[in-house]
Structure 1
Amino acid sequence: MARSVAVPNRKTVEPAEDYGFFGPDSVTWRVWSYPTSLTVGFQRAVVVEELDPALVASVDETHAIWDRPRTRYDRTLRYFALVAFGDSRATSKAADVLVKVHSKAVGIEPLSGGQYDANDPRSQLWIHLTAWHSILYAYERYGPGKLSEQDELRYWQECAVAAELQTCAGEHIPRNRAEVRQYFEEMRPQLVGSQVAKDTMNHLLQADVMLPKLPAVFRPVTKGIAFALRKATVATMPRWMRELGGIRQSRAMDALVRPLARITFALAHLNRKSELRMLGVLSPSTVSVVAPVLLGVPPRNPETLTPAQARERYGYTEPATAHLELRARQAERALAGKRRSDEGIRESEPILGSTA
């Protein structure tokens, strides 16, 4: 099981190789580096995405969020942090190996009887946009507030850049607020509050399952943090989404949690080491990715690349067409009821963290 880590300082933190795909002048760095993002924002994303029948079927098949919730949370958060903050080499490698990891997640979705595939461009776009939308929404609600019209446009354009690291189809990626709203309206009729979805969403709202095991004397504190995080996250979800998920929370609680959360996150943001300490509890493996950004440690090479430039430099294939032979082999075995290879999982551990 992942453990909390020591908080680095400017003298001990390892500089990144470069600025990755965004850099200090990006809206992405401004929004994602605020403490709302990798807490409420990320929890909201992993909860909301379970309403997609294909995705929740894939999640339920592995059972990882039930058997190893802290490990699964840690690895997923590290990947998204790499996309936002990581250097171009490490992030390109993570994106490539993730295609292999997802090649195992193929099967039959029980509600429709259709096939699901975690590498399907539609599934990848749902995960990607749910994360980026949730991160921004949490920032607006519990952080500094709404972005300017120009900055929001930049944010969604940067979101489209990040989508190039997944199998998303370029022509379907929204690039402004109107297109994002249209996307979610089109997705809404396809979302289903099945019993599996409800169980999974409520499980993921129990933040204490993501936290490390502490001595009994500290458990009331852990429960209190988990309770507050759940209330803050639920308050960001529209009523129709809560109804699908079987989640209840009063309007009074929604109103009460907002000022309390805003004050808490504002205070946390005053001290970057406190932010890193909080992150070290939630996701130890993510600290090394985020630390150079929060502590203002410049990279060895102060440049930004596009995903296409990075693939050309490091020799990776575009995600949509990467590892097609492995993906076909894994799908064939999955649909025949045979055990799939752990090739991608094993390769991912040095990059995304242990699966144990």
Structure 2
Amino acid sequence: MLMPHQLVEQSLQSHFDRNVRQHYFRGMEFAGPAGDPGWFGPGSAVWHVHSHTEALIFGLQCAAYIERLDPSIYWMGMHHSRLVKRDEDGTAIPVIDPEGAAVRLGHSIAFFIGTAYGSTETAERVSKTVRAMHHTIKGTRPDGAAYDADDPAWLRWNYATVVWGLATAHEIYHPNPLRGKKLDQYYGEFVRVGHALGGTDLPSTKAETLDCLHSYLPKLALTHGAAMATGSNLSMPQSAVDWAIRDTMPKWAKQLIGHNDPNPIERRARRAVVWSIINGLHTAAGDTLEFRQARARVTGGTTVSHTEPAYVPGSDPELSRDEVEHSFA
């Protein structure tokens, strides 16, 4: 007979299997070949960050939000994505299509789990697939400005939005977050993904990434469609999730979207609620099947509790086991 917490875990895992894994993980290999560490392997900062699926998903939402501040990305989505609804003639309407949003999220989750934990062949293949898709995203905005997903400067900024979103969600909402040089290790490792997608001269530290994001400010704007999908234009419960995302934005981005932080006590209380939800879901669901398979693939079946952070290369080799564990707090 299953205990209550086991029933919850089984339900959440079944939901993920039905709605994500069965549709978006096809052809990905996590269980083999034996000994293949993939692109990163256990002990990497990427494994530690991406093992918390719920924080990873939240980070993707943060990245998507700051991306939309680039009118070119907004119109790329309008012209080429299933994310928005369309009228009978196929013309995009600036209203989120829930089904299309679920598809986009499913593909994103599969990509960032596949490149993190998949076999070397899997990571390379899914990256080539996404890069090939980017080659087709070219067009013209209503104001006459051209956009091209292969533009090196745009690729650099777009890469920065993604790695920043994932790392920032990790910093705020992971129970054992990397900080300082350990977090910079994540930024440095993740560059491999950016290069595989065609990026060049990519930022490899938190400071470089923030500088890259800020450098694009003259090109950013709050489009009407993006404005209608945030702030006071939303009702509960969407507005609560929207607040948590806006709360992560850099100061200049908050100024652009007209977001004001509440007083420190209220902000801390709100974050505590979000932290409890994200980590409550993660504790209830447990590690993903892909993470467990990858761990067994590399370690020959040896498992590591997800509450026990892996040692990150580059840390002091003389640290004791207890010091290593507390160094992630």
Give the TM-score of the pair, scaled to structure 2.
Answer: 0.68
Unaligned runs of 5+ in 1: 209-222, 277-289, 303-356
Query: 2:197 is matched with which residue: 166, 170, 185?
Result: 166
Taking a change above 3 Å as real, the CA distance of residues 78 and 144 of structure 1, as seen in their structure-2 partners, is same
Distance 2:299 2:250 in 1: 43
2:227 and 2:255 mapped to 1: Cα distance? 10
> Aligned in 2, Cα 1:36/1:101: closer, same or farther, shift over 3 Å?
same
**1:33 and 1:14, CA in 2 relative to 1: closer, same or farther beyond 3 A?**
closer
The one-letter code sitting in structure 1 at the alignment partner of 2:130 is: L
Q: Distance in 2 between matches of 1:294 and 1:125?
A: 32
> Which whole-Å CA distance do the structure 1 matches of 2:199 and 2:125 have between them?
17
Q: Which residue of 2 aligns with 1:299?
A: 297
CA contact (8 A) 2:32 2:297 kept: yes
CA apart distance, 1:124: 2.5
How do residues 113-132 of structure 1 correspond to structure 2 at under 5 angstroms? 113-132=144-163
1:36–1:142 contact (8 Å) kept in structure 2: no
Which of residues 56, 63, 75 is equivalent to 1:57? 75
Query: In structure 1, what residue type is equivalent to 2:145?
Result: G
Q: Go from structure 1 to structure 2 and tell me whether the alpha carbon gap of 1:249 and 1:175 turns closer, same or farther (over 3 Å shift).
A: closer
The CA deviation string for residues 131-158 of structure 1, in whole angstroms up to 9 with x for no partner, is 1111111111122365243312311210
Alignment correspondent of 1:147: 178
Query: Over residues 18-38 of structure 1, what are the superposed CA-to-partner deviations in whole Å (9 max), with x where a residue is unaligned?
Result: 332111100111112124532
Alpha-carbon deviations, 1:232-291, whole Å to 9, x = none?
2222124542453466774576332211222333334445xx146xxxxxxxxxxxxx52
More helix by share: 1
Tell me the C-alpha RMSD between the 2 structures: 3.3
Cα distance between partner residues in 2 of 1:148 and 1:69? 31
Which residue in the other structure is 2:225 paired with?
Answer: 196
- In 2, Cα distance between equivalents of 1:135 and 1:126: 15
- The letter of the residue matching 1:129 is A
Corresponding residue pairs, total: 260
Task: Note if 1:241 corresponds to 2:253.
Answer: yes
The answer on whether the counterparts of 1:36 and 1:139 sit within 8 Å (CA) in structure 2 is no
Deviation at 1:45, TM superposition (A): 0.8
Correspondence 1:178 to 2:176:
no
Partner of 2:65: 47
**Superposition deviation, residue 105 in structure 1:** 1.3
After superposition, the C-alpha distances for 1:172-199 in whole angstroms (9 at most, x for unaligned) are: 2112233223212212222111223334
Cross-structure match for 2:274: 261
**1:1-356 matches, cutoff 5 A:** 4-5=16-17, 15-17=31-33, 18-67=36-85, 68-111=100-143, 113-144=144-175, 147-169=178-200, 172-199=201-228, 201-202=229-230, 224=237, 226=238, 228-238=240-250, 240-245=252-257, 250-251=262-263, 254-271=267-284, 274-275=285-286, 290-294=288-292, 297-299=295-297
What TM-score comes out, normalization by structure 1 length? 0.63
Instruction: String of CA shifts for 1:88-127, please: whole Å, max 9, x gaps.
Output: 212211221223222221111334x332112222232223
- Range moving further from structure 2, 50-59 or 76-85: 76-85
- SS of the equivalent of 1:164 reads helix
1:187-239 alpha-carbon deviations (Å, 9 max, x no partner)? 2222111223334x539x98x9xxxxxxxxxxxxxx75x55433322221245
C-alpha distance in structure 1 between counterparts of 2:205 and 2:148, whole Å: 27
Residue 224 of structure 2 aligns to which amino acid in structure 1? Q
- Give the match's secondary structure for 1:107: strand
Alignment identity in percent?
22
Matched position secondary structure for 1:116:
strand
